[in-house]
């Protein structure tokens, strides 16, 4: 059963301009997530936003409690702890599906949460 769906788009150029302030990157991403191109970081931001939407965007979620990773085949997935893990458990979510793309200056992500 689908518990939540989220989608987000992020213009890479706009994200890069905002990311010029180092505080923004430190607030949004774990150190491991900050090691990539602006395209990928914009995609990771879109993924986190899409996840928040799929979870109902409750107050108090911490951006550092969710990290976008990729498996050995390059498929993206979330590793979550703390506030995110608590919300996932409260909603009875067993599986979180994530897809990220970036093309033509836009990064986009879709999240589907299943019980």
pLDDT in tens, 12-64: 999 999 988 778 899 999 999 987 889 999 999 999 999 999 999 878 889 99
The catalytic site residues sit at 53, 102
What domains, with CATH codes, occur in the chain? 2-114 (3.90.470.20)
The rounded Cα 55 to chain-centroid distance in angstroms is 12
pLDDT in tens, 65-95: 999 999 999 999 999 999 999 999 999 999 9
Helices (H), 1-115: 12-19, 22-28, 38-54, 82-90
């Amino acid at each position: 059963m689908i518990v939540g769906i989220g989608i987000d788009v992020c213009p890479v150029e706009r994200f890069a301009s905002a990311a010029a302030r180092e505080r923004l990157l430190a607030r949004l991403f774990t150190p491991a997530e900050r090691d990539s191109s602006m395209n990928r970081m914009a995609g990771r931001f879109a993924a986190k936003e899409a996840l928040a939407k799929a979870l109902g965007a409750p107050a108090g979620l911490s951006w550092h409690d969710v990290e976008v990773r990729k498996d050995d085949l390059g498929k993206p997935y979330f590793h979550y702890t703390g506030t995110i893990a608590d919300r996932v458990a409260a909603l009875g979510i067993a599986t979180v599906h994530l897809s990220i793309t970036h093309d033509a200056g836009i990064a986009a992500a879709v999240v589907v949460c299943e019980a």
